[in-house]
Amino acid sequence: MNAFFEIQEKRARLLPIEVVTLGYTLFTALLIFYFWPQMEAPWRLLMGRAMIVIALGGIWGLNYAAPCEATRILRNIFPLTILGYWYSDTYEFNRLFDNLDYIFAAADYDWFGSQPSLVFRQLLPGKGWSELFHFGYFSYFPMIVTTTLLPYFVKRDAFERYAFVIIASFFLYYVVFLFLPVAGPQYYFHAVGLDKIHAGIFPQLHDYFRYHTELHAVGCPEGLFQDLVELTQSSGERPTAAFPSSHVGISTLLMIILFKTHRKTAWTFLPVYLLLCCSTVYIEAHYLVDVFGGLISGVLFYVITNKIYTLINTHKIQSL
């Protein structure tokens, strides 16, 4: 414990995770200025970014004033704690574009001959199945926490790299979500009506989700894990971020990290991971094509973000 707070050599350099967080903050701030006339409450969005920069600077200053293991870990963990803010923030941008759900719903219908999410729940009805899949979906959050912190205890030299890989991959997904307005079945199906969906009719909704954010609950009326999922959705879910599935993509990336750092933990999480991937379709959060998009992008983003981390360290881009 004493070593955790032991004073170390002062270093002014930004960490790679801070570099990428500031980069995404600046990128989206520039987008706000570009879309200013169309944005809703742009000053509020800029203020949110200013607060994030101030918080990053404050934590950096704390580590500079008291350079120890505890404050350095805080610098790596803080950017991950505000991912919920960035997720819902993507809606503020993609609501400016016409909705594209009709394309992805039609793709599911054309490729699989039905809507997999509706068929899935028909095949496995009842509270037991509902709770199982909602458990899988909710497991995403403890899986992120476990995979972020585990390397610190079992492979410490990889802790900062994998923390960076996780958050940088999230930001790559968010960049896609900024410009790709796909809400997912839980929004689209009930906006157009299930009668049209069953008939294979997928109308364009244009800017409908710019003014409507109603979320349709899927599953049984009561259940612990359904309640937990609905609680997390009520705090930040928006009609955004369906394709590719970041739930599937990030969890795929997390499994890669777990297998590289602690195989026993990875094998423990494997059934949960498979359940999680299936749950995204079962609870109508995603089309099946979103899942395939998540699988491919998860592996791709793992490779890309590892290379970016190496590039930042090699060229000392984080130097002040």
Q: Is residue 28 part of a domain?
A: no
Q: What is the C-alpha separation between 173 and 168, in angstroms, rounded?
A: 9
Q: Is residue 124 part of a domain?
A: yes
Q: What is the C-alpha separation between 89 and 210, in angstroms, rounded?
A: 13
Count of domains forming the chain: 1
Q: Is residue 61 part of a domain?
A: no
Q: Is residue 112 part of a domain?
A: yes
Question: Which pLDDT value is given to residue 11?
Answer: 80
- pTM score of the predicted model: 0.94
The string of DSSP codes covering the chain is -TGGG-------PPPHHHHHHHHHHHHHHHHHHHTGGG-SSHHHHHHHHHHHHHHHHHHHHHHHHS-SHHHHHHHHHHHHHTHHHHHHHTHHHHTTS---HHHHHHHHHHHHSS-HHHHHHHHS-SHHHHHHHHHHHHTHHHHHHHHHHHHHHH-GGGHHHHHHHHHHHHHHHHHHHHH-----HHHHHHHH-HHHHHTT-----TTHHHH-------S-S--HHHHHHHHHHHHH--S---SS-HHHHHHHHHHHHHHHH-HHHHHHHHHHHHHHHHHHHHTTSS-HHHHHHHHHHHHHHHHHHHHHHHHHHHHTTT--
CA atoms within 13 A on the CB side of 92: 23
Are 247 and 212 in contact by the 8 Å Cβ rule? The answer is no
51-77 burial: b if 16+ Cβ within 10 Å, else e: ebeeebeebbeebeeeebeebbbebbb
CA distances for 32 relative to 13, 35, 43, 147, 242, angstroms: 28, 5, 9, 33, 22
Return the residue matching tokens 């600046």.
26
Q: Is residue 78 part of a domain?
A: no
CA distances for 292 relative to 11, 115, 143, 228, angstroms: 43, 15, 20, 26
Q: What is the mean pLDDT of each run of 10 residues along the chain (320 residues)?
A: 73 91 98 96 97 97 91 95 96 97 97 94 92 96 96 92 98 98 96 94 95 78 85 85 97 98 96 98 96 98 97 64
Question: Which pLDDT value is given to residue 316?
Answer: 55
CB atoms within 10 A of CB 82: 18
Q: Is residue 76 part of a domain?
A: no
Question: Which pLDDT value is given to residue 318?
Answer: 44
Sign of CA dihedral 191, 177, 15, 258: positive
Q: Is residue 144 part of a domain?
A: yes
Q: Is residue 113 part of a domain?
A: yes
Domain housing 152: 97-315
Task: Report which of 227, 137, 233, 248 is spatially closest to residue 187, judged by C-alpha positions.
Answer: 233
Question: Which pLDDT value is given to residue 233?
Answer: 83
The token pair that represents 196 in the structure block? 């049209």
